[in-house]
Each structure stands twice: as C-alpha cells, then as structure tokens.
Amino acid sequence: MSNRIQEVKRLIQIKTALISVSDKTGLEELATFLQKQGVEIIATGGTARFIRNLGIEIKEVSEITGFPEILGGRVKTLHPVIEGGILARRDNPEDQEDLKKHQIKPLDLVVCNLYPFEKMIEKEETSLEKVVEEIDIGGITLLRASAKNFRYVVSVSSPCQYQELMEEMTKNGGAFPKDKSQKWAIEAFFRTSAYDGHIANYLTRLTYPEEEPFYPQFSLLLRKKYPLRYGENPHQRGAFYEDLSLDPQGFMRYIEHWGEKELSFNNLYDVQAAFSLVKEYEDPAVVIVKHNNPCGVATDSNLSVAAQKALSGDPVSAYGGIVAFNRPVDKESAKVFRKLFIEVVIAPSYEEGARKIFSSKKNLRVIQAPLSSPSYFDLKKVDGGFLLQDKDIIDLDKNKLQVVTEKKPTPQEEEDLLFAWKVAKHVKSNAIVLAKDRETVGVGAGQMSRIDALYIALLKAHGREKGAVLASDAFFPFSDVVEEAGKNGITAIIQPGGSIRDEDSIQACNKLGISMVFTGIRHFRH
C-alpha cells in the first residue's frame, strides 16, 4: 500500500488545461486527446477558435476571468484568476483557502508557445513597429508561472513535447510524472531566457550600431545540438552547442554529412580551420589540415590538379587529415584521395562520381556545406570570462603592398606571395609558409621562435624550397630568418613589417638578392 501512495505522489493528475499557442502544429491531435481524457480545456483567442472548429468543447479565458481580452488581444491571460490557478500550491492551506475564497480553478497543465519573434526579425521586409508587436508578454508569464510551480503544474513549451505528454498520460491514467515536469520546467525557463535574449540582442543591434560587435552587453545563446564521443582526448567529455547569438553564420548551421563514424570534437575544430582557409581563394582550391594547421594548400584552374598539388605539399602529414574544397568535387578530384586515409572531406557539393568514391571509404565522414560568410566575431574562453574580437577576415589589397628592397618581385613571385600570405594567416604562430607555383612546399607552425618555424618549413620542403617564396605571419625581430632563407634559395618574402630592426632584414635581402614586401598587417593566430 505504501508503494502505491509513493507512486501517486510522484504524479500530477491533469484535470484542467490552459492552451495558448501561436504555433498550431500538432494542436488538433493534442486537443482531441485531452478531450478523450476528460480534461477541461481553457484557451485564448485564436487557439480557442481553432479548437472549437474541431468540434471540441472549450472555455475561453474571458469566460473564466469575467474580463474580456483588451488592447487588441495584447492582454488576455494576465489576470489573478489565471495566474492564481497556475501558481497555487496544492499542499499549502493558505493557497487553497485563497482559491476557494475567490472561486479560482486550479490549472494542472499549461500548453504555450510564444509569438514568432525570431521569424519576424529574419524577414527582409520588417520594421521596429512590427517586431515589437511580436514580443510576447502573456505567454512568457504563463510559462514562467507554470515552470515555477512544476511540482503541481506541467509546463509544455513546444509542440515537440506533445507526443511524450500524451504517451505519459496514457500510461499513467491521465497523470504526468513529477520528475519530468521538473525537466520540462527547465526547458521552459531556457525557452523564455533565449526568447528574451533574442529580443535584447535585436534591440541592442539597433541601439548601438556603432559598437558592433562590442556592445555594452549581449546574451550568449547556446543550444546543445548533439553530444560528441569525447572532447580533444578520450578522457574528456564533449558536445556541440549551436550559437544562436547575434545572427551567427558559418558551416555548422547548414552541415549535412554522411559516413559511419560520428564527427568528433577534433574533426569539427579541424574542419572549421580547413573550410575557413579554402574560402580565402577565388580560384579552385584544396586545403589539407592536420591538428588545426594547414599541411597542404594549392590553387589551380583545374580542381583535380589543385588536389594533387595540395597532397604533394606534405603527403606524410596529410594522413588522417581533413580535406576542404571550394568547388563542387568531381570524380577526378576525389580520385586523388582514394588511397589515402583521411578523416573528413568538406565541400559545397559533390558530383555522383565523387560520392561513389568517398562512400567506398568506410571511416570517411563527408560534409556538404555552402561557402557562407564566416561569423563576424570570434569568442575565446578564459577563466572568469570571454575574449571577444573581430574575425580576422581582412582582405589584402595587393596594390598597397610596399616593396622595401632593391629587387622587386616578379609577377609570378607576387602571385605566390599573396597565395602564401593567405595560408600564413591560418597557421598557428609563429608561422612560416614556403610556396611555389601556388602550392605550399613547407609549413612551419606553432613555434616559440620564428627561426625555428623556418627550420621546420625547410625540413618539410625536402629540397623544394629553392625558388620558393616565404610568408611570415608577423615581422622579423632579427635578420636571421632572411639569412637562412637566402642560404636555401628563397627568392621573395612577404611580411607585415614594423620591427625596430626592419632595416637589418631589408639590408640582408638586398645583399642576398631577395625581394621583400611589407603588408602592414599582422596575422597572429593562437
């Protein structure tokens, strides 16, 4: 007998429901179900008309409150009879006395979704006046009140919850588990929080346009999209959270993929690095990334040739890498990677021949995503806060390059310098990139000294450095990089300039017959 009492205590018996929804998806099935369960239904305006047209008996809120909807429907549920029915604690004598005294009916279920504010602000033709009218007031209050009183009231904040609600009520004789009611209360609070966050962010953009994206404050809105097998290492947990803040963009909003294995934490991080770089180029380009650094990059009028050149840049490091294309992948381009183990491929689309080749590789994950613009700000986490900065998407104007040496770069060298400069922008600092014929021949990444980065790039080049150009993500504090480059046949250098010892590097170039150009732009990447 005691077990039966405990079971009853864990359930919320649903006798009366209040429904007020903007999105009518699934409402017909839900209302029909509640009617069959003998639940009394109270509804507002358009919701009441919808349910009544189904032939289901309902009461309108105005019948319960004795007060009509006013201000064009702006005020309908903000009434003590409604809020009291939701907030009353069933085991509190004073609350129960108030209900009895004022003839207030307890409400056991609140079904509410909010005005479509987000859809309104996404419309091309909109105005502040139209947007403001989509700011829900009564719905937010209903959800917050029912979520607060989750021990006695079930809060349903989305049509995607209807099926589970009906299943639980069917299984429990018209009742709903209290533990799930608490979980749904959390969901309701997150929905109201995100809703308010979208409103605050939208108004902030309008009010402080000159401070974009460094507003006085903004809501960071994250929604878990799916769990990951683990984080950077197997002992770390991981998940992907979709960013809903401040009109974010990027491939993760449109991602489509196939393959037997799930995408991992490191896969996604590396895919971002590869796709960000490949989008830098207007010509057909292929990028191979390993451990968040490009190890092979090339452009060519023919995509398959670009693929072959990118792979030859560092075929050893390419093993287990991420490959990105900035063009639809054809069969010939896919063939380049047929025999190589790679983790992920990403491209705007794939021809049927390429699909067949990639689908035959058992553990390959294939992603299709548009070449959309990147998010316009970058967020990094530190203990106690976040670091916010603009995305490093500045485009270099080749007409503003400053030639600082006696020897000027040839047209071919200039083309290779600009190519290498874009690669260096995506290599971890300190970064040195060696390139020839719009193909990387050596990449030195993530070193504590720039000369060490050059040594690694030369090691990777395997003798191909002669006649190549060199790109550095930041200025040279000493002339040692230039001197070592000269010993190895480097013919031209591109770097930001700005060191107090720039003249040392310039003189070294002149002595060695190397051309050097300054960009005036630094590309540190930590």
Residues taking part in catalysis: 148, 291
> Are 374 and 280 spatial neighbours (Cβ–Cβ below 8 Å)?
no
Report the C-alpha gap between 204 and 233 in whole angstroms.
39
| DSSP labels, 18-34 | EEEES--TTHHHHHHHH
> Are 443 and 314 spatial neighbours (Cβ–Cβ below 8 Å)?
yes
One-letter identity of residue 55:
G
As beta bridge partners, residue 43 has 19, 60
Cβ atoms within 10 Å of 132's Cβ, excluding its own: 12
Report the C-alpha gap between 344 and 173 in whole angstroms.
49
440-444 sheet: strands from edge to edge: 402-403, 515-518, 492-495, 469-472, 432-435, 440-444
One-letter identity of residue 150:
F
The enclosing H or E element of 241 equals strand 238-243
CA 337, 453, 466 angle in degrees (round to 5)? 70
> Which two three-digit tokens encode residue 187?
């969901």
Task: Give the largest Cα separation in the chain, rounded.
Answer: 98
Q: Which residues of 406-442 are buried (b: 16+ CB within 10 A; e: fewer)?
A: ebebeeebbbbbbbbbbbbbbbbbbbbbbbbebbbbb
Report the C-alpha gap between 491 and 409 in whole angstroms.
8
What is the Cβ-side half-sphere exposure of residue 230, based on CA atoms within 13 angstroms? 5
Residue identified by tokens 């003189």 is 507
Report the C-alpha gap between 248 and 56 in whole angstroms.
43
